[in-house]
Amino acid sequence: MDYEFYYNRDTGNFALNLPLEQDAIARFLLDEFVLDQAGYHLLLRELHGLGNHSSWQYQGRNWSLFVEDGDVLVCHHSLLELEHEPLPDKLAGSQLALDEDNLQGECGLDDLIRLVEQWQVFVAGQRGRLNGAHSQ
């Protein structure tokens, strides 16, 4: 999995960029955990404890993460709600379609673990620089 991390010194915002088909994973991490180190540590502890044939799920405020046999699916709750609610009669035959881009993404369990670990190293490094812990 390819990824890039950014920190904007002017705004103080962090960004995590992934390929378009995996952008939902970045949105999941930033929306659910923001920069909460403790939350990421709990997530990593759960993920590290999974075997190759394990199942686990995380239900967040807006996103869910599902792990099944080493595969990860991240899905926005709006997609889950639509699966259980029929479309109103007026929309049932229409050409309208839900744009699922950025609402779900998949990756391997090892890739997700590596991504979250590297993200935490990046965030900690930027915070260290901001706090004067690293001299240049």
> 100 in a domain, yes or no?
yes
Rounded Cα gap, residues 102 and 41, in angstroms: 25
Flag whether pLDDT at 29 surpasses 70: yes
Domain that holds residue 84: 4-130
> 136 in a domain, yes or no?
no
> 14 in a domain, yes or no?
yes
pLDDT at 115: 97
> 135 in a domain, yes or no?
no
Q: Dihedral angle at the C-alpha atoms of 1, 26, 29, 57, nearest 10 degrees?
A: -60
Rounded Cα gap, residues 128 and 124, in angstroms: 6
Instruction: Count up the domains in the chain and report the number.
Output: 1
> 121 in a domain, yes or no?
yes
Q: How far is CA 75 from the centre of its chain?
A: 9
| Range of weakest confidence among 3-12, 46-55, 98-107, 117-126 | 98-107
Give the pLDDT band (50/70/90) at residue 80: confident
